[in-house]
């Protein structure tokens, strides 16, 4: 079968250059720069660095700044669309951090004040604003987040999982990123000068870019999304691979995905942050890729700064502007291009033929994304394979009871697995060299990855990594901000800043395994693991390759109670996670897993009926599943219990129901443990008696259904084939 073509039907942008496509186009054509001294918050000595701060009027202070920026861009993208998007995918790193910092600085201990903190709340706000009834995914892969979100949406549209997707990225300025990049000495005090021989660093910025993507309908299309490629350096938590090997793989993958040759590219929108190492690595990758033919190149970050997670999405909007307006933006900020880069950047805006643009976005953890955008035209569409469930190669879990073996022993006895392991217990099987300087969450992710790989017995490690985490690295975030506030915003740790980004643990796993495939972190609160699994389903496939899907979250004595409303009702703090290694066999045999359903409940009045229908109806549910593992987060117990009752009544399901959070505890990624439990039960063919009122249940070839209930309703199908 041929895959669906995907078109950009609407787009929105807000950046330091202005708000909306028209203002952005005008500013680019005039070679303007929006980089100015920071005024959003006070700095020591009131000597702020130049930043890319959005100057237009925002919508007020009832929601955090990132959310306001995302709303502006999303409203623009959806202005001419009367139908709700089927899916919403947004990349962000800061979430409500700008507001959270002020609350923590003021020692505000009211959990209700932090309700907008999570990165996932940005996407949920946009999904609620437009009534999205389908999947809602939040991507946090540092500075490549927006581009990765677009790649995920592209694949969901291509495979028919959606017809309309709203995708993009948003980030606001905040102390964490402003001071964090300063601790790394990556800020240019004169403003970003990408590709310049005297460049000294980047200018931190903010903004949002959103795209309304539609499948198969080129009418009124602004441009076509031709392809995208992802890779991971697997080299260093913050520095790029010096030869640009990961950047090269991402660009090559994007062109292959688009079905294009290097000679088809008219313009490359470079990542081009202005840091010496990043610009050099990217230049080497470009020179290798375009050895015999170099398109026009420039970076717009001298004009807008580096808006982190929003960068890739904003620059895809700019790429579409370039195609529509036959415009190549200037490499603003640079005066004397660095001859060592062997590039010839466009130094002033140029009106010329632009049919196809390659846009690069690279981030911490070696996360690389390249996107290809083209003018709508008649072109051949590559064939696309039908994709189904993925085979489980192996898995692992950690709970308060201990590692996989100890957790399974507790579960078999019907004993509680709640609690928090010490950091030394978690990393007892990891070498001291691997975990040096690392705190709780990266050690937990690495321990899960290591045990799952050892249990697989495979010689080759997984090639791609997918991590779901509800709250990210709380220890590093708390220590960075605490040090900052204790020193009147003068000092903090660069190590803690690097570790504070949500995708840092997945980056460490990639380095440990040398995994250079896709590396994606999702963060959707109590449904983060389900989002990671859905992402792996769309991006983690490849002949002879395997994908590692992890869900992990830590408990932090100070922050967990403020950020996560689900931990408050439980009297036993808990932490942990699970991991599955998956293979995308063409005819999978063995235990398989499939992300069967995901919807935001408040947008879907008949969500339970839609769930039953998506699972194949009552007869299939009773025929395929011998046990139901139900996850009802503490913050949504009333709604979740009602949904569970409605599901049982509608489906006629009479087999055992295990509420797994009562066993493993309240932490965001508890569903990852449940997924591993489901795999283990299906392989064994038996549910231990203590979990089923004292009498063991034989599955007789049936599998397990894992439901997430409450704010979202999700389903993971685990069956034996």
323 pLDDT above the threshold of 80: yes
Cβ–Cβ < 8 Å for 274, 301: yes
Look at residues 317, 342, 374 and tell me which one is the last residue of a structural domain: 374
Domain check: are 469 and 348 in the same one? Answer: no
Residue 213 belongs to a domain: yes
| Number of domains composing the chain | 2
Domain range for 289: 6-374
pLDDT category at 62 given cuts 50, 70, 90 is confident
Query: In this structure, is residue 186 part of a structural domain?
Result: yes
DSSP strand pairing (703-708 vs 591-600)? unpaired
Alpha helices in 91-238 (DSSP H): 97-105, 120-130, 145-158, 175-183
Mean pLDDT for 583-594 is 86
3-class DSSP assignment, residue 79: coil
Over residues 618-639, the pLDDT tens digits come to: 999 999 999 999 999 999 999 9
- Indicate whether 230 and 106 sit together in one domain: yes
The answer to whether position 280 is within a domain reads yes
Do both 302 and 214 map to the same domain? Answer: yes
Q: Is residue 74 part of a domain?
A: yes
Please state the φ and ψ torsions of residue 357, each to the nearest 5 degrees: -125, 140
- The pTM assigned to this predicted structure is 0.97
**CA pair distance 444, 450, nearest whole angstrom:** 10
Q: Which of 155, 213, 7 is nearest to 539 (CA)?
A: 155
Cα 625 to its chain centre, rounded Å, is 31
Structure tokens at 677: 């439990």
Measured distance CA(127)–CA(129) in Å, rounded: 5
> What's the rounded mean pLDDT across residues 576-596?
91
- Confidence at residue 542, expressed as pLDDT on a 0 to 100 scale: 81
pLDDT of 25: 98
Kindly state whether residues 666 and 532 are assigned to the same domain: yes
320 & 396 share domain: no
Is residue 122 a part of any domain in this protein? yes
- 198 & 316 share domain: yes
Phi, psi of 80 (to 5 degrees): -110, 15
**Residues sharing a CB contact under 8 Å with residue 554, sequence separation 6 or more, in sequence order:** 440, 441, 444, 471, 473, 474, 475, 560, 575, 667
Q: Are residues 396 and 323 in the same domain?
A: no
My answer on whether 408 and 316 are in the same domain is no
Say yes or no to pLDDT of 70 above 80.
yes
> What's the longest Cα–Cα distance across the chain?
77
For residue 570, the model assigns a pLDDT of 80
The CATH number assigned to the domain holding 668 equals 3.40.47.10
Q: For a pLDDT cut of 90, what percent of the chain falls above it?
A: 92
Instruction: Assess whether 293 and 398 both reside in one domain.
Output: no
β-pairing, 519-522 vs 464-468, is parallel
Q: What is the pLDDT of residues 459-506, one digit of tens each?
A: 999 999 999 999 999 999 999 999 999 999 999 999 999 999 999 999
Claim to verify: residue 289 and residue 424 sit in the same structural domain: no
590 backbone φψ class: left, alpha, beta (φ>0; ψ -120 to 50) = left
b (16+ CB within 10 A) / e for 632-669: bbbbbbebbeebbebbbebbebebebbbbbebbbbbbb
Q: Which pLDDT score is estimated for 385?
A: 54
| Domain co-membership, 334 together with 253 | yes
How far apart (Å, rounded) are the C-alpha atoms in residues 351 and 326? 6
Are 295 and 404 in the same domain? no
Domain contains 184: yes
């Amino acid at each position: 079968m041929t895959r669906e073509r995907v078109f950009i039907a609407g787009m929105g942008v807000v950046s330091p250059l202005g708000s909306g496509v028209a203002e952005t186009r005008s500013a680019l054509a005039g070679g303007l720069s929006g980089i100015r001294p920071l005024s959003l918050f006070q700095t020591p000595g009131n000597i702020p660095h130049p930043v890319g701060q959005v100057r237009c009027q925002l919508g007020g202070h009832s929601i955090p700044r990132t959310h306001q920026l995302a709303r502006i861009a999303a409203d623009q993208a959806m202005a001419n669309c009367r139908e709700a998007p089927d899916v919403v995918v947004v990349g962000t790193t800061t979430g409500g951090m700008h507001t959270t910092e002020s609350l923590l600085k003021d020692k505000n201990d009211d959990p209700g004040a932090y309700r907008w903190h999570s990165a996932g709340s940005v996407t949920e706000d946009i999904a609620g604003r437009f009534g999205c009834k389908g999947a809602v995914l939040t991507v946090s892969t540092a500075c490549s987040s927006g581009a990765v979100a677009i790649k995920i949406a592209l694949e969901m549209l291509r495979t028919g999982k959606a017809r309309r997707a709203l995708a993009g990225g948003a980030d606001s300025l905040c102390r964490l990123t402003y001071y964090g990049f300063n601790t790394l000495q990556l800020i240019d005090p004169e403003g970003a000068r990408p590709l310049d021989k005297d460049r000294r660093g980047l200018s931190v910025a903010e903004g949002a870019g959103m795209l309304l993507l539609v499948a198969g309908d080129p009418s009124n299309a602004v441009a076509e999304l031709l392809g995208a490629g992802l890779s991971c350096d697997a080299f260093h938590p913050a520095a790029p691979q010096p030869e640009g090997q990961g950047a090269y793989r991402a660009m090559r993958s994007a062109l292959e995905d688009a079905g294009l040759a290097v000679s088809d590219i008219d313009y490359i929108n470079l990542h081009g942050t202005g840091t010496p190492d990043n610009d050099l690595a990217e230049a080497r990758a470009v020179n290798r890729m375009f050895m015999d033919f170099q398109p026009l190149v420039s970076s717009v970050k001298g004009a807008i700064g580096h808006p982190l997670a929003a960068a890739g999405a904003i620059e895809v909007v700019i790429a579409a502007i370039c195609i529509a307006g036959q415009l190549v933006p200037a490499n603003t900020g640079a005066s004397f291009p660095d001859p060592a880069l062997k590039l010839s950047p466009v130094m002033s805006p140029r009106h010329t033929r632009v049919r196809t643009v390659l846009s690069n976005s690279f981030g911490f953890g070696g996360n690389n994304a390249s996107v290809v955008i083209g003018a709508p035209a008649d072109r051949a569409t590559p064939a696309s394979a039908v994709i189904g469930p993925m085979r489980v190669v192996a898995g692992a879990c950690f709970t308060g009871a201990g590692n996989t073996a100890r957790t399974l022993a507790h579960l078999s006895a019907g004993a509680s697995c709640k609690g928090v392991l010490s950091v030394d217990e978690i990393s007892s099987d990891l070498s001291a060299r691997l975990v040096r300087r690392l705190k709780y969450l990266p050690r937990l992710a690495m321990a899960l990855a290591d045990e799952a790989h050892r249990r697989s017995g495979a010689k080759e490690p997984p090639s791609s990594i997918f991590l779901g985490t509800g709250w990210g690295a709380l220890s590093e975030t708390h220590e960075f901000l605490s040090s900052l506030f204790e020193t009147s915003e003068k000092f903090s740790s660069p190590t803690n800043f690097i570790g504070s980004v949500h995708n840092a643990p997945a980056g460490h796993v990639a380095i440990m395994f040398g995994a250079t495939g896709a590396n994606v972190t999702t963060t959707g609160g109590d449904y983060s693991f389900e989002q990671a699994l859905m992402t792996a389903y769309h991006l983690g496939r490849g002949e002879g390759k395997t994908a590692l899907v992890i869900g992990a979250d830590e408990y932090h004595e100070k922050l967990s109670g403020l950020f996560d409303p689900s931990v408050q009702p439980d009297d036993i703090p808990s932490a942990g996670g699970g991991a599955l290694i998956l293979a995308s066999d063409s005819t999978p045999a063995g235990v398989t897993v499939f992300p069967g359903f995901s919807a935001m409940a408040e947008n879907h009045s008949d969500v339970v009926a839609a769930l039953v229908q998506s699972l194949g109806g009552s007869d299939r549910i009773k025929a395929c599943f011998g046990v139901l593992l139900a996850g009802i987060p503490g913050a949504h117990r009333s709604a979740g219990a009602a949904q569970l009752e409605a599901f049982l009544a509608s489906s006629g399901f009479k087999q055992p129901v295990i509420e797994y959070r009562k066993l493993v505890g309240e932490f965001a990624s508890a569903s990852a443990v449940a997924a591993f439990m489901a795999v283990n039960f299906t392989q064994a063919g038996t549910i231990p008696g203590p979990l089923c009122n004292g009498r063991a249940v034989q599955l007789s070839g049936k599998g397990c259904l894992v439901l997430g209930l409450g704010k979202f309703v999700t389903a993971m199908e685990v069956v034996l084939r």
